[in-house]
Amino acid sequence: MTWTLPEPMLSASVPAPDLRPGWAGEPKWDGFRTLVSVDTGRVVLRSRRGSEMAPAFPEIVAGAAQLPDATALDGELIVWDAAGRLAFERLQDRLARRGASAARAASEWPAHFVAFDLLRLSGTDTTVWPYQRRRAALESMFAGRRLSTPWALCPSTTEADTCASG
């Protein structure tokens, strides 16, 4: 199945944190917006523009074994540097790598997938669910399956005060 990111689900930067009812605030990541889909062992990593990225990120493909079959996540691919800061330039360097070169880069500068939305869960299209239900299901999947590297759950809040203090 081919998935694309629905336009209404794109994030938007705001000059001031004015969190409306029913909205959620999340940090801005310096990475690549990516969709990961797992179907009968086949893993697809697709950029927002539809480019296939799996050959460049073998550690994400291998990590997909932790996910339930027939599941799709929306998130951001990121790479951390040695000081614990986001390293976008390292992430960019990974895109052109394939095969042994991609495996070497994965061991030196491993990518992580920060998940912020659940688009499909075990074959069920969750995009018709309200955000709060999708978020609860995403958190439940992370906890229940004890997802670990390369997966990370994006912090999220529906509390305006939390956004304002960030």
In percent, the amount of the chain with pLDDT more than 70 equals 78
Catalytic residue check, 62: no
Burial class (CB in 10 A: 0-12, 13-18, 19+), 95: middle
Instruction: Catalytic residue, from 28, 49, 85, 146: name it.
Output: 28
pTM: 0.84
Residues 112-128 pLDDT 10s: 999 999 999 999 999 99
Bond before 58 cis per omega within 30 degrees: no
